[in-house]
Amino acid sequence: MSLFSWKLHGTGTSIAPGEVVSTDERLSWPRTIGVGLQHIAAMFGATFLVPILTGLPPTTTLFFSGLGTMIFLLLTQNKVPSYLGSSFAFLAPIAASVKSDSMAVALGGVVATGVMLALVGLIARAVGTGWINWLLPPVVTGSIVMVIGFNLAGAAKNGLASGPLLGTVTLVAIAGFAAFSRGFLGRISIFLGVVVGYLVAFAMGDVKTDGISAAKWLAAPTFTSPTFKASAIVLFIPVVLVLIAENVGHVKAVSAMTGKNLDDQVGNALFADGVATTLAGAGGGSGTTTYAENIGVMAATRVYSTAAYWIAALGALVLSICPKFGALLSAIPGGVLGGAQTALFGMIGILGAKIWIESKVNFSDSTNLIVAATAIIIGISDVSWTRGDFTFNGIINATLVAVVGYRVFSGIAKSRGTAAN
């Protein structure tokens, strides 16, 4: 069967109770396009926030998001329905690299991250994923994810301080949509909250419209070349570990939803995301990851067809050639972004705790408790040290404590017979 040949599910107009539209099936094209548009809406809130918060061109990021999704679908042979959007794990290292060097240096870090992730994918394809589970148990991945979110608390504070009223309006709107909306609307509450904050800012005259008016309707995205600097690349190492955990978790989640064994696609997924991230960094876009938001759309619609993801990817490419759309996003006031940051960064941190809870991490085990507690404090307080041209910030040091500390001390505890059962 051709890679782009999907079987029509039933009559293509409906899904019977208890049935799902499988990855190699589709509904009628109008309905498939409708599901694809839902995937665009689901990914959009997170994907546009990363370039806005980091200073990367939004249209360029959208371009590589759409292109990356196509690459992912091709390399996973259309077996893993997934959208590749901007990863929040890149926020902290990009900000640190820009502050100490330049955006080009930050892009070099994104490229290096993609290359490392692709290599991990090739290794996983060759020898399996058992070593990944050994290196990154839930207590470690949960700690790293939590640190990445909470380490950015200072940036959220500064954003709120730039416009307290708009930040509060945005936060209240986000909380309101999350509380009053079920399903899809609740999952895009941050995006909807930003829209509300933006509209209020516009009504108050706080939106600068000069750039919007001057922007063209159609033009190619702006591409930027990376510069490589070893001291900056080091900052991105924790991101690789997070992307590994996200991709493996995504494949497992899709496997559980579709009832298909996709273990043979884990290596392909890691490699594909690595290639997509490498291309994004090489051209001036943000690194990518598989999106949990789109899993929610599949759960709500019961449509797992990869055809819908091709529609979403094409939609992202179309939006990427509209500079006026990018200018509209770039004009979002700092206070609105500060409100979104406060909710977003906190949610990223809480996702770390969610990993612990769902994996039933045993914190009566002293090794788990001490390693996680130490890593979190080091990361949140941004304990840093410098040696030569290399600066190891809080996230790097917290990652080292979590990964190395867990392996060393859990090994000692097991050899001594002091590990909790």
**Per-residue confidence of the chain (421 residues) as pLDDT tens digits?**
467 789 998 888 888 887 888 888 888 999 889 888 878 877 776 777 788 888 888 899 999 999 999 999 999 999 999 899 888 788 888 988 998 889 999 999 999 999 999 999 999 999 988 888 888 888 998 898 888 788 878 888 888 888 899 999 999 998 998 888 766 677 678 888 888 999 999 999 888 888 888 888 988 898 999 999 998 998 898 889 888 888 887 888 788 777 788 888 999 999 999 999 999 999 999 999 887 667 767 877 788 899 999 999 999 999 899 888 888 877 888 888 888 888 888 887 888 888 899 889 999 888 999 999 999 999 898 888 877 766 677 888 888 899 899 999 988 888 877 766 5
Domain-located, residue 86: yes
Given this model, what pLDDT does residue 183 score? 63
How far is Cα 25 from Cα 19, in angstroms, rounded to an integer? 12
How far is Cα 239 from Cα 97, in angstroms, rounded to an integer? 14
Judge contact between 63 and 317, C-beta under 8 A. yes
Q: Which residues pair with 392 in a beta bridge?
A: 385
How far is Cα 304 from Cα 40, in angstroms, rounded to an integer? 15
Domain-located, residue 156: yes
The closest alpha carbon to 88, from 382, 276, 384, 347, belongs to 347
Given this model, what pLDDT does residue 86 score? 86
Domain-located, residue 379: no
How far is Cα 226 from Cα 104, in angstroms, rounded to an integer? 4
Judge contact between 327 and 215, C-beta under 8 A. yes
CA distances to 32, 270, 291 from 8, in Å: 11, 30, 26
The closest alpha carbon to 62, from 292, 277, 284, 316, belongs to 316
Reported pTM: 0.81
Torsion of the alpha carbons at 34, 35, 38 and 42, rounded to the nearest 10: -160
Given this model, what pLDDT does residue 60 score? 93
Task: Return the ∠ at Cα 98 (arms to 97 and 104), rounded to 5°.
Answer: 90
Residue 79, C-beta contacts closer than 8 angstroms, at least 6 positions apart: 23, 260, 262, 265, 306
Q: What does DSSP assign to residue 21? A: B
Given this model, what pLDDT does residue 389 score? 65
For residue 122, the enclosing domain spans 26-353
Domain-located, residue 249: yes
> Structurally, how many domains does the chain consist of?
1
Q: Which residues pair with 290 in a beta bridge?
A: 84
Name the pairing type of β-strands 25-26 and 84-86. unpaired
Judge contact between 276 and 66, C-beta under 8 A. no
CA distances to 51, 173, 215 from 63, in Å: 12, 29, 17
Tokens describing residue 78? 């259309």
Cα diameter, the chain: 69
How far is Cα 141 from Cα 361, in angstroms, rounded to an integer? 11
Domain-located, residue 374: no
Domain-located, residue 398: no
User: Quick one: which H or E segment has residue 86?
Assistant: strand 84-86
Please report how many Cα atoms fall inside a 13 Å half-sphere around the Cα of residue 101, on the Cβ side: 23
Given this model, what pLDDT does residue 184 score? 61
SS3 content of the chain, % helix, strand, coil (to 5): 70, 5, 25
The closest alpha carbon to 266, from 279, 277, 255, belongs to 255
Task: Return the ∠ at Cα 53 (arms to 48 and 59), rounded to 5°.
Answer: 40
Radius of gyration of the chain (CA): 21
Given this model, what pLDDT does residue 275 score? 97
Domain-located, residue 83: yes
Domain-located, residue 13: no
Residue 284, C-beta contacts closer than 8 angstroms, at least 6 positions apart: 56, 57, 60, 107, 221, 222, 223, 224, 225
How far is Cα 6 from Cα 35, in angstroms, rounded to an integer? 15
